[in-house]
Homo-oligomer: A and B are copies of this chain.
Amino acid sequence: MTTLLITGATIIDGVADKPLTDSAILIDGGRIKAIGHREALDVAPHVRTLDLAGKFVIPGLMNANVHLLVNASLETLLRFEGRYEALIEEAAQVALKAGMTTVFDTWGPRRALINVRDRIESGETVGSRIRCAGNIIGFDGPFSPDFFGKAAEIASSWFVDRVNAAWVENSGRHLMWMTPEQVGAEVSRYIERGIDFVKYGATEHGAMAAGAFLQFSERTQQAIVEAGRAAGRTVQAHSTTVEGLRMSIEAGCDLITHCNMTGPVPIPVETLDLFERTQCGAVIFPVTEAGLAHVKGAVSDLEWTMWSAGDKNARRLIGSGAPILLGNDGGVFAKELLREPWLKATWNGMPEQEALGRLATGHFAWLRAMEEKGMPAMDLLHAATRNIARAYKLDTDLGTLEVGKIADMVVLDKDPLEAADHYRSIHAVIKGGVSVDLDALPERPLLTAELAPPLEEEANFKRFLVHGTRLPGCPSCISGGH
């Protein structure tokens, strides 16, 4: 790491109310040594200078909620068996290329995540800085009813258990049987395995009662938070109901993911107040206007009630005084999956520009969506940087361009305060004071690689009717798969 001087750019440091227009940044040893008028800086001779006239320098973007191995389907986990770290590495590079110098992985296989995190930390590998939770406390593995339950019907028990274990270890659904004290003890043991922060399920993961069941009682949630605190970790909750939200804020969580998603019921004023009072971080999942229009055409009325409530919540949270964090469950999805028609009614089935969950672009959709909902431009920047650093208690090192902090920054061609879409105009990414070779990322494309071309045999293939196709032979055939 050498010394570097950045000059000529408009600097939006994440601290000041306004951009600094005639300042330079001096980087040394990976950190910001000084910011100020070029002339006022104490710069050694022959220091490498980067002239960024006409560009905009902002703090490195952060993402409060990603899943570097999100595509935990049977197909992907088998195809890349033994290479999960390579998938995570690829994702960390996709994130970095998209301007995110730090990402928080809030669900994934602990050991693989930690290994990649450490390789990036040591400089062995390039990629976004990773902080990770491992499993969500209380959730079972990818091949369980909590996620892809059907996989367990078709794959061998040997593989099913192996995959589930890689995610769950001692932190799974069986904790629900336990007392608060017992759960707290298990969480402490899980923390010892090297995770950076704790995430637990306040509510269940969707497939059972659409997210309405509670995973843990208030007292158990408190025990989890205490176990986290005792180990110096921040703690966050997955919540999808208004009661789950209230419980987890009151339990003392540092942040709540997709907190605007509360089923068909809007967040009560009392809970908005609670957010403000506790300064609990609110990770919002917003949808753009175009995205909402797409969803409305693809889902049932009942489901629309829920999307609609989520949108109203997002709008009300903007003015609530809660620290708002950018997060999107961002991940890299397999190309063959994104072609499936059933995806249509989901976040990822939206048109590419609006899809929230894509690691490479979803944060840009997030910023535009929140801009549409009325969030001021500087607040958008804070949501993507400073607020996240604070919520995760990493603001000593990260989140703003201040002297002494790690020199993470993104250089944009266009002014991000003018339009949220300008965040897409990435000119350069500097992480830890070093300019990243963006063109080289990802270094070894796996999920981002093109699908293999058709086989010779596919030219001759005639697909038969799938099982259950209704034959137009019998008018009386009312059975139709019943």
Contacts and interface: CB of A to CB of B under 8 A. Distances in A.
Interface stretch (A86-94, A200-208, A273-281, A428-436): A200-208
B455 A166 contact: yes
B469 A243 contact: no
Contact of A145 (B168, B176, B208, B258): B208
Interface stretch (A13-21, A66-74, A121-129, A412-420): A66-74
A265 B179 contact: yes
Given A140-B464, A154-B151, A480-B346, A472 B241 contact: no
Most chain B CB within a 10 A radius of its CB, from A240, A333, A475, A480: A475
Contact of A471 (B70, B206, B295, B480): B206
A107 B408 CA distance: 58
A300 B152 CA distance: 18
A345 to B, nearest CB: 6
Contacts of A457: 109-111, 165-166, 168-169
A475 B336 contact: no
Contacts of A151: 154, 482
A42 B213 CA distance: 61
B209 A208 contact: yes
A74 B154 contact: yes
A2 interface: no
A337 interface: yes
B172 A464 contact: yes
A3 interface: no
A268 B370 CA distance: 48
B206 A208 contact: no
A471 B258 CA distance: 12
Interface string A233-273: 00000001111001100000000001001111100100000
Contacts of A395: none
A179 to B, nearest CB: 6
Contacts of A150: 150, 153-154, 481-482
Contact of A178 (B204, B220, B240, B265): B265
A162 B78 contact: no
B462 A159 contact: no
Contacts of A165: 455, 457-458, 460-461
A328 interface: yes
Contacts of A464: 140, 144, 172-174, 209
A155 interface: yes
Contacts of A328: 475
Contacts of A461: 161, 164-165, 168-170, 172
Contacts of A462: 168, 170, 172, 174
A177 B241 contact: yes
Contacts of A391: none
A8 interface: no
A190 to B, nearest CB: 8
A214 interface: yes
A362 interface: yes
Given A156-B339, A328-B475, A342-B480, A161 B466 contact: no
Contacts of A75: 74, 78, 154-156, 159
Contacts of A149: 467, 479, 482
A329 interface: yes
A134 B472 CA distance: 23
A477 interface: yes
Contact of A264 (B140, B177, B340, B356): B177
A242 B177 contact: yes
A375 interface: no
Given A178-B242, A213-B215, A303-B472, 7 more contacts: A74-B155, A111-B457, A154-B154, A166-B455, A177-B242, A347-B477, A362-B475
Interface of A: 67, 70-71, 73-75, 78-79, 81, 107, 109-111, 140, 144-145, 147-159, 161-162, 164-166, 168-170, 172-174, 176-180, 182, 204-220, 240-243, 246-247, 258, 261-265, 268, 285, 295, 299-300, 302-303, 306-307, 310, 328-331, 333-334, 336-337, 339-340, 342-343, 345-348, 355-357, 362, 451, 454-458, 460-482
13 contacts: A152-B466, A165-B460, A172-B461, A176-B241, A177-B212, A214-B216, A218-B219, A219-B243, A258-B474, A261-B473, A302-B465, A333-B478, A342-B480
